[in-house]
Amino acid sequence: MIKRLFDIGISLIALIMLLPLFILIAIAIKINSRGSAFYKQTRVGKDGNEFELFKFRTMYINSDKAGLLTIGSKDYRITSVGYWLRKYKLDELPQLLNVLKGDMSFVGPRPEVRKYVNLYTPAQLRVLSVKPGVTDWASIKYFDENDILAGSDDPEDMYIKVIVPSKISKNLEYIDNQDLLMDLKIIFSTIKRIFQ
């Protein structure tokens, strides 16, 4: 209950304060390329329930048909405005709406698409026992995930066999030891990592 009240209060305040930034970003996206300023993708949340995750659009429309993974920060599908949004994680800001709605929390395992969740082992599925989050320890560890994948001969194989298990391991540790102080530490560590 405390965590939910924290999520509601902070997301509401943040949405109000960041509204001018939201408008500027939306205008920049629309000027830079055709299509909506926002992007929705179905992700798997708590207890395996699906929800629509909100982001600012950083790719040309229909780019996800070429693959779900983004390979490198210079992926040809990423728009010029999208590059900067991704660099500073500004594309993630609309997830404040997901937090306010209750689909997500500020801190928790990053939600995955069904394709990869279907590959989880029974032990790994425990990661779905909590609400997914905007950030977590795994997001900080793999802050440059796209560039890591770009250096692989088989990015999807590396993602499935190396990165996903590593992320889940970090998230299961979080689930077993979570508390509000840890959440605050993760939030501030994420902000620090963005501006490094």
Tens of pLDDT, residues 21-49: 999 999 999 999 999 999 999 999 999 99
The CA distances from residue 12 to 93, 98, 171, in Å, are 12, 11, 26
Element (H, E) at 172: helix 164-177
Sorting pLDDT into bands at 50, 70 and 90, what band is 153?
confident
Half-sphere exposure of 34 (CA within 13 A, CB side): 1
CA distance 113 to 111: 7
Tokens encoding 66: 């070429």
Percent of the chain with pLDDT over 90: 75
**Do 3 and 46 touch, CB atoms closer than 8 A?**
no
**Do 133 and 46 touch, CB atoms closer than 8 A?**
no
**Do 140 and 186 touch, CB atoms closer than 8 A?**
yes
Sorting pLDDT into bands at 50, 70 and 90, what band is 64?
confident
pTM for the full predicted model: 0.88
Element (H, E) at 2: helix 2-32
- Identify the pLDDT of residue 52: 97
- Residues 172-194 have pLDDT tens digits of 999 999 999 999 999 999 999 98
